[in-house]
Structure 1
Amino acid sequence: MAIAVCAFQAKAQTKVRVENDSAKQVISANIYGHFAEHLGHCIYNGIYVGDTAREIPNTDGIRNDIIAALRKLKVPILRWPGGCFADTYHWKDGIGPKQDRPAMVNKWWGGVTEDNSFGTHDFLRLCQLLGSTPYLAGNTGSGTPQELADWVQYVNFDGKSPMSDLRKKNGHDSAWGVQYWGVGNEAWGCGGNMRPEYYADIYRRYSTFMTDYDPKKPLFKIASGANSADYHWTETLMKNIPTNMLSGIALHHYAVIEWNKKGPDQSFTEEGYFKTMESALFMDSLIQKHTAIMDKYDPEKKVALVVDEWGGWYDVAPGTNPGFLYQQNTMRDAMIAATTLNIFNNHSDRVRLANLAQIVNVLQAVILTDKEKMILTPTYHIMEMYNVHQDAKLIPTNYVSPKYDYNGKKLDAVSVSASVDKSQKLHISLANIDAHNAQTVELDLDANNYKTIKGRILTSDKLTNCNTFQNPNKIEPEVYTKASLKNGKVSLSIPPFSAIVLELSK
C-alpha cells in the first residue's frame, strides 16, 4: 500500500488515497521507547519507592500502579541511567547490599545526595516487570574503558569470570544479555565538552573493549550523536568510525520556544504554542539532513539514527525545584507527541529507536506522581493510542497539508502516518495542530475493500488543559464515531489540537 495525500487549502480539506502497493518498511517498536534518568523524582519517589515501602503497593520497591500503566503502554525499550547523569555514574556503586552502597551527589540535577539504592539489578528488574528491552548508557566522561567493559561482562557473561562471579554473589546467577548500549552521552556537552574528532576516537577506544559474549546477539552500540542541527558532528562520526563498529548514532532535539526563554509549562500563549510546535516539527528536517549525511557513508542504512532524547522542555512548574525539571503536561504536549511519532514512523527506514524524555515526573512525562497518587498525562494517551504502529509495516505518505497560520507565519496543520499490521488491519494516525480550525480529511480506500472502521480521539476544549491530581481523567481517549465509510471512502473532521487513530478492517 501507499498513501498519497493532496490538500486543498481553500476548503481546509486533506484528501488521502490508499492504493494497492508494497508496504515493506517495518516501523520498529523501539521508536516508542522511553528514558528514565536519575533526575528529580523520575527514579526516587517516582518509579522507585524502596524495598521497605508499605504505604504504596510495590514489587521490589517499584510502584505497582506504574508497572501496570507502563505495561498497557507497551514500552518496548527503556534507557537508563542518563542523560548527563550517565557520565558521572559508576555502576559498581549501585550493586551489592543496599546498606553498603556509597552515597553520591547528583551534580547535574539539583545537587541532591543519592544513596544508590536503585542500581543495575533494580533497573533490569524494572525492565523485566515491564516486558521492556533495557538500554544502558555507559560512562565515557568520568569513567574508563575498563569500567565499561566490566559492566558489559557483569550483565552479559554466563561463564566463569571476575564480573560474573560478582553478579552471582549479588544474587543473580544468569546473565541478562543486555544488547543496547550507549557509548557515552552528549559528549559535546555534559559528557565531556569534546570535539567530534576527539569523541570519534573515544568511541572507537571504548567500544573496542565491549565484548560480544553472545555471537547470536551482538551488542547494539550507540555513539553519542549530534545536538539538534550540528550536522558537522554527524559527518565527523560517520567519516571516522567504521560502520562495522557502529550500530547507531544518537540525536537529541527538544521542542523549545527559546533555550533562554522556555516559557511556562501550562499558562502559555498561542505564540508560545506556535513556537513550540515549530520547534517540534523541525524534527522532520533534522532527520532528513542527518540521514542524508549518513547515507553518504552508509547507503545500505545499516546504522540507525537513534533519537534517544526528544520532547517538550519548558520552565519548571511554579514552586518546584528548578533542578528537577518537573512540568505539567497539556494538550500542547499531546500535539508534540502525535506529530513527532508521525515523523518517526515516516522515517523508520533510518530512525529505528527513540526515547521520549522522560518517563515519570520529568520534562514531557507520561506519568506524574504525588506521594501515593498517580496520573496519566495527555502524552501517555497519545503513546498508547499510537502503539498500534509498533512493528507494523509503514504505508508511505505523500501530502501537502493545510496551514496553521499565526500572525503571518505558517505551519503544516495536519500530520499523518499509516501502517498495516500482521492481521492486515490498517491504522492511520492523524493530528491537527491548528489552535482554532478543524480540518476535514477524506480517505479514498481504492480497491482495498475495507468494510469496517473504528476510531479513537484525544481532544479537549483548551490547549492549556491537563490532567491533575484533583481531576485525573479530564483528558483521556474517547471513541470516535464521526468517521463515515461509504463507497470505499472515509470522511472525517479533526477538531483543533486533536489527534485521531483510525482502524480499518476488511
Structure 2
Amino acid sequence: MSVFIDPNRRIGRIDPKLHGQFIEFLGECIDGGLWVGEDSPIENEHGYRKATLDALRALRPPLIRWPGGCYADTYHWRDGVGPDRATTFNENFATYELDPHDFGTDEFLRLCEMLGAEPWINVNMLSGSIAEMKEWMEYCNREQGTDLARERAANGHPAPYGVRYWGLGNEVWAGGGTMTPQTYMDEYRRYASAMPSFTTDLFTPTPMVAIASGPDGNKPRERVKWTEDFFRLLAEYRQPKIDGYDLHFYNWNIDDDRDTPTEFDEAGWNRVVEGCLELEDILREQWTLMNEGLALINEPEGPLDSKLDHVDLIVGEWGNWHKTAFLARPALRQQVTMRDAVTTALTLDLLQRNCDKVTMACNAQTINVLNSLILTEGERTVLTPNYDVFMMYRGHRGATALDVPRRDTESPVYVFASLGEDGRTLLVDLTNAAMYDAADIDLKFPVDVRLESMTTLAAGDPHECNTADDPDLVRAAGIPVGGDVAQSHAVTLPAASVSTLRFTVV
C-alpha cells in the first residue's frame, strides 16, 4: 500500500478537547477507581487514588465531563458539597450501591485544576430545577461576594472555578426524560435563558457555553428526525443561547452471545472494527442537518439583534460497548484488548479528520467502565492499551489535520496525519486493522522528511490484555529508526497494531 502525505493539504486545527474524557458515578468509575478517600489503605493524595491521579497527570486530558451521563438527571449538587453530605442510593445502570457523595463539585473541579482540564458539567434537567441549576453555576463561578460565593470559599476555594461548559440535559430522548424534540426544546429554552452571564458589561459576550442534548447516534432514523425537528423548532421565533449539540454514539457489540471483551473470532474482530467507523458517516450527516436547520433562522429585525449561524457539533460519549458489560459487577466493567485499542485509535483519527465539524469529544469512560483507560482491582491499578493510544496521540492536540487519501481501499491499514504548530513536525498514525496479518506501507511526501521516531502498540496475541497480575503485557514500545532523510519511507506494521511516526520536514 502506498500513501501520499502532503503537508499543504490542510483540513483545520485539531481542538485538544477532541481528546476529552468522561467520568460518571457508575460502577467503580469514580468511587473506588478515582476516589478512595483520605482514610483508605489505598495510597491516595487527598482522597484521590494516587496511581490513577498520576496516570491522568501524565495524560493531561484537555476536557473532563461529569457527573453524567444518566446519573446527572438524578444528581442534586448540594448532596455533594460541604462537610455534611447526604447518603442516597445509586441505581444508575445497575450500580445499586449506597452513594455517600464524598466526591462532589469541589472534588471534581479541583481534579480538573490539578490536571489542567476544562470541566464540563451536566445539569439535572429531569429531577432538578432551573433554580438548582442557577445556584450550582453561581457556586462555581460567582466572583462577587454572594452567599453562594462565600459558601464556596468556606468549602476551601475562595476564587471562582470558571466553569464554562454546561450540558443542559443528557440523552433526553431516553433516560433523561423520554422527551420529544418539542418537549425538550420547551425545557431547553427555559434553562438556557436562565443561565447567569457572569459579565458586568451588557455588550460583553458571556463566557458560558450552553450544550444541548443531541440525538441517539445509534438510531439511524430517529437521529435524523430528532435533529431535523430540533433545529426547525430552534428556528421558530427568537433563539435561546445554544453553543453546542451533543451527539452520543456507542460501538455496540451485542449481536453474538459468544463474543466477549477477551474472547472473539476474526469475524467478531472485523465486526467491531467496522462498527466504530460508522461514526464518521454520522458526523457528516449530522453536520449537514444542523446547517440546514440553521439556514431556517430568519434575518434579524433590529440593529441590536444578531443571527445564530453556528452551533458546535460535540460527541459527548463514544466507545466500545460489549454485551457482557450489561451483567458485569461492578457495573459496566469490561476488559480492553487490542481490538478496543484499534477502534479507539480509529475513532480518534476520524474525530481529528473531521475537526472542521467536531470541536469536543469524550471517551466513555475513563476508569473501570466500558472503553476504559484505567482499571483498578483492590489496591492495584492497571493501565489498559487504550491509555497507550491516548498517550501516543497527544502530539495531535492543537496541530493541523491533513487530508490524506487512502490509495488502496482494500488495505487493512488506516492512515491519519497532522502538521505540528511549528510547521515542520508531521505526526502520522498507522493502524493495521488486520487481526492476524502484518502489513507493509510506503509513505510518500512531496519534500524530504526525516523519520525521527516510531512507537508501536501491539500484542503477542490480539486477545491479550493487561491485568493486575500482568499489568504491562500489552504496552507501546519505541521502534528503532535510522533517521533517514527521503521523500519515501517504507514501514512494516505488526498485525492488530497502532503506530505513530514522527517526521521532520527538512
For 2:304, the equivalent position in structure 1 comes to none
Q: Does 1:41 align with 2:40?
A: no
- The residue type equivalent to 1:251 in the other structure is L
1:39-77 superposed Cα distances (whole Å, 9 cap, x missing partner): 011111110001222x22222201222111112112111
Tell me by how many angstroms 1:481 deviates.
Answer: 3.3
Q: Does 1:313 align with 2:316?
A: no
For 2:301, the equivalent position in structure 1 comes to none
Tell me by how many angstroms 1:320 deviates.
Answer: 4.3
For 1:10, the equivalent position in structure 2 comes to none
User: In 2 relative to 1, CA 21–399 (structure 1 residues): closer, same or farther, beyond 3 Å?
Assistant: same
User: In 2 relative to 1, CA 200–59 (structure 1 residues): closer, same or farther, beyond 3 Å?
Assistant: same
Tell me by how many angstroms 1:24 deviates.
Answer: 6.0
Distance across 2 between alignment mates of 1:241 and 1:262? 45
Out of 195, 210, 221, the position equivalent to 1:221 is 210
Q: How many residues align?
A: 480
For 1:418, the equivalent position in structure 2 comes to 417
For 1:76, the equivalent position in structure 2 comes to 62
1:428-469 superposed Cα distances (whole Å, 9 cap, x missing partner): 11111111322222111112x323431100111222110111
Alignment of 1:342-421 (within 5 A): 342-403=349-410, 413-421=412-420
For 1:279, the equivalent position in structure 2 comes to 275
CA RMSD of aligned residues (A): 2.2
Structure 1 spans left out of the alignment, 5+ residues: 1-12, 404-411
Equivalent residues of 1:106, 1:113 under 8 A apart = yes
1:202-241 superposed Cα distances (whole Å, 9 cap, x missing partner): 1111111111204566111111111113121122222223
Distance across 2 between alignment mates of 1:263 and 1:452? 39
Alignment of 1:243-282 (within 5 A): 245-258=241-254, 263-282=259-278
2:351 alignment partner, SS class: helix
Equivalent residues of 1:262, 1:314 under 8 A apart = no
Out of 80, 96, 109, the position equivalent to 1:94 is 80
Tell me by how many angstroms 1:259 deviates.
Answer: 6.6
Distance across 1 between alignment mates of 2:313 and 2:428? 24
User: In 2 relative to 1, CA 487–177 (structure 1 residues): closer, same or farther, beyond 3 Å?
Assistant: closer
For 1:409, the equivalent position in structure 2 comes to none
Out of 150, 158, 161, the position equivalent to 2:135 is 150
For 1:481, the equivalent position in structure 2 comes to 480
Equivalent residues of 2:3, 2:407 under 8 A apart = no
- The residue type equivalent to 2:183 in the other structure is Y
Distance across 2 between alignment mates of 1:57 and 1:502? 36
Distance across 1 between alignment mates of 2:292 and 2:483? 45
| The 10-residue stretch of structure 1 (492-501 or 349-358) with the greater mean CA deviation from structure 2 | 492-501
User: In 2 relative to 1, CA 235–59 (structure 1 residues): closer, same or farther, beyond 3 Å?
Assistant: same
Distance across 2 between alignment mates of 1:482 and 1:437? 22
TM-score normalized by the length of structure 2: 0.90
- The residue type equivalent to 2:500 in the other structure is V
- The residue type equivalent to 1:433 in the other structure is A
Distance across 1 between alignment mates of 2:138 and 2:166? 13
- The residue type equivalent to 1:253 in the other structure is F
Equivalent residues of 1:430, 1:499 under 8 A apart = yes
For 2:336, the equivalent position in structure 1 comes to 329
Tell me by how many angstroms 1:413 deviates.
Answer: 2.0
Structure 2 spans left out of the alignment, 5+ residues: 296-307
User: In 2 relative to 1, CA 187–429 (structure 1 residues): closer, same or farther, beyond 3 Å?
Assistant: same
Equivalent residues of 1:483, 1:492 under 8 A apart = no
Equivalent residues of 1:254, 1:311 under 8 A apart = yes
For 2:457, the equivalent position in structure 1 comes to 458
| The 10-residue stretch of structure 1 (35-44 or 100-109) with the greater mean CA deviation from structure 2 | 100-109
Percent of aligned positions that are identical: 32
1:237-262 superposed Cα distances (whole Å, 9 cap, x missing partner): 22223677211111111112237959
Equivalent residues of 2:10, 2:401 under 8 A apart = yes
TM-score normalized by the length of structure 1: 0.90
Distance across 1 between alignment mates of 2:240 and 2:127? 26
Tell me by how many angstroms 1:199 deviates.
Answer: 0.8
Distance across 1 between alignment mates of 2:439 and 2:309? 36
1:294 alignment partner, SS class: helix
Q: Does 1:59 align with 2:51?
A: no
